[in-house]
Amino acid sequence: MGDNEPHSNGVNGGRDSDDEDVGQMRPVDIEADVKEMEKRKRVEAIMNSQLFREELERVVGDSIRESGTEGISALLSDVMNIKNGTPSSSCVIPINDIRGIGSLVYAKGEKQLRCRLAAVYRLIDCNGWSQGIYNHVTARVSQDTEHFLLNPFGMSYDEITASSLVKVNMQGETVEEGTTNFGVNQAGFLLHSALHQARPDVKCIIHLHTPNIVAISSMKCGLLPLSQESCLIGDVSYHSYNGIVVDPAERDSLAKDLGPNNKVMFLRNHGVVCCGRTIEEAFHVTVNTVLACDNQIKMMPFGMDNLVLIEDDTRRKTYEIGQRGGGGVNTAKREWGVGELEFEALMRKLDNAGFRTGHTYVQPLERKEPHHVASDVELPPTSSNLNWLMEEEELYKDSPLKGLLAQMARGARGEKKGKWVNSPNVYQKVEVLETGTTDPKKITKVTQISFDSPDAKSPGKSGKKKK
């Protein structure tokens, strides 16, 4: 993603402001590791709980008495949402199926990449853009290695998970087979490897051929600048149809037709490929391409004479604004990359539907204001306001007021309870004679009455001391 500054949910949790600032400066992958460690600590605490073990033993015992060992298997299947290799009827297949030590076999950041790529397959299926087991979406693993991920050939898009994706290199050799018994589509490998190899800046490529996209790719006029969506994808390229892409000699012509900067290339009489520097950008370009094709198909029956084309200057200006992220109209302080803000909304949609994307959100949905101590400007220093502060349990817990009141209490316990500082009878004037002279004079001195002394029964008795 563009800016790797994570934003954590929730309240401070006992940390001071400096620790919170450091936490916000963590990269997304490090923040995900920290959250995973916290989850493991909670799970470990639960597993070590005596109450949890007793409750689990009770549930297992009841299951054995009711239906034997088969009941235990069904119970565990419902808990894990897995039954004989297929999901239970009560939920969808989770996108993030990489658990525990299974994530250690992947390079740093590859797990998140797999989850995002698998989520793109699910989004394509939810939008009705898939065609059974065909079409392909690929993502480059890193700039250092010429490896990319793609779907196993034979699985439908609603079955793709993070662990099932296959890793291949540019020569067509399988680096990691994934968790299925399927191979890869040869045509998909040739198409995507040619573009990945020619464009190192491209990290994700999405290939579709919906009916409207095929219709636009088959027209001599191609995609026309008739809508805002057609402007947001920038300039488009075209590649002539030469049959199913299985000939290695076609790799050079594919890379040449795409060009050095374009992100969309229509395959004549076939479909389209949409590219992006990130998975988010590639899907954003795909959405606008699909909408632009749909809009043009709806306009074409009215005749070309009735259509108003967008001027080139306006089209270029619209494209430049859209490259700012958030459609170029975002007013938030955070600067988003192209498609990132929209992709997070789609991930929330999938998570809310139970897909369990495993996506690490850069921006939380709800804003939670941290508790703060009310200043004298906000609330005048009255006894009622002090009571209000005391009634706020969360504020009292994390505020310096707790330490101040504790210090006052300790000081009060150390003072003498019988010392009446404000009493008018505490001090008394007495006359004494001078010492060290042959002619002593009377001097008036002030003495303090000590009421906690057992002899101090009246101001005139010996429970006095000089001050």
Asked whether the predicted pLDDT for residue 146 surpasses 90, the reply is no
Model-wide pTM > 0.75:
no
Q: What pLDDT does 446 receive?
A: 73
3-state secondary structure 327-392: HHCCCCCCCCCCCHHHHHHHHHHHHHCCCCCCCCCCCCCCCCCCCCCCCCCCCCCCHHHHHHHHHC
Asked whether the predicted pLDDT for residue 56 surpasses 80, the reply is no
Q: What pLDDT does 394 receive?
A: 52
Q: CA torsion 154→158→159→160, rounded to 10°?
A: 90
Asked whether the predicted pLDDT for residue 15 surpasses 50, the reply is no
3-state secondary structure 115-148: HHHHHHHHHHHHCCCCECCECEEEEECCCCCCEE
Q: What pLDDT does 221 receive?
A: 93
Q: State the average pLDDT over residues 308-312.
A: 94
Top mean pLDDT of 18-32, 130-144, 262-276 is at: 262-276
Strand arrangement, sheet containing 464-466 = 427-433, 442-449, 464-466
Instruction: Classify burial at 111, counting beta carbons within 10 Å of its beta carbon; exposed 0-12, middle 13-18, buried 19 or more.
Output: buried
Non-local (6+) Cβ contacts of 205 within 8 A are 136, 137, 138, 192, 195, 196, 273, 274, 275, 282
Q: CA torsion 391→395→396→402, rounded to 10°?
A: -150
Round to whole Å and give the CA distance between 351 and 367: 19
Q: State the average pLDDT over residues 265-278.
A: 95
Closest by Cα among 143, 137, 122 to 185: 137
Top mean pLDDT of 102-111, 188-197, 314-323 is at: 314-323
Q: What pLDDT does 249 receive?
A: 83
Which percentage of the chain shows pLDDT scores above 70?
Answer: 72
Count helices and strands in the chain by DSSP H and E runs = 14, 13
Helix segments in 244-303, DSSP class H: 251-258, 279-299
Round to whole Å and give the CA distance between 24 and 4: 10
Asked whether the predicted pLDDT for residue 319 surpasses 70, the reply is yes
- The residue ranges of every structural domain in the chain are 17-87, 102-352, 383-414, 427-466
Which secondary-structure segment (H or E) carries 465?
strand 464-466
Asked whether the predicted pLDDT for residue 373 surpasses 60, the reply is no
φ, ψ (nearest 5 deg) of residue 450 = -105, 105
Give the residue carrying structure tokens 């493991």.
40
Asked whether the predicted pLDDT for residue 115 surpasses 60, the reply is yes
Q: What pLDDT does 459 receive?
A: 47
Query: Residue 276 CA to chain centroid, in angstroms?
Result: 21
Give the residue carrying structure tokens 């095929």.
214
- CB of 258 within 8 A of CB of 265? yes
Q: What pLDDT does 466 receive?
A: 44
Asked whether the predicted pLDDT for residue 129 surpasses 90, the reply is yes
Round to whole Å and give the CA distance between 216 and 270: 10
CATH topology of domain 102-352: L-fuculose-1-phosphate Aldolase (3.40.225)
Strands 264-267, 236-239: pairing is parallel
Interval 186-227: pLDDT, tens: 777 888 889 999 999 999 999 999 999 999 999 999 999 999
Q: What pLDDT does 396 receive?
A: 53
Interval 417-431: pLDDT, tens: 555 555 555 667 788
And the tokens for 80?
């894990």
Instruction: Classify burial at 231, counting beta carbons within 10 Å of its beta carbon; exposed 0-12, middle 13-18, buried 19 or more.
Output: buried
And the tokens for 259?
């060009």
And the tokens for 12?
């401070």
And the tokens for 240?
């002539």
Would you place residue 434 in the very low, low, confident or very high pLDDT band (cuts 50, 70, 90)? confident
Round to whole Å and give the CA distance between 339 and 276: 10
Asked whether the predicted pLDDT for residue 5 surpasses 90, the reply is no
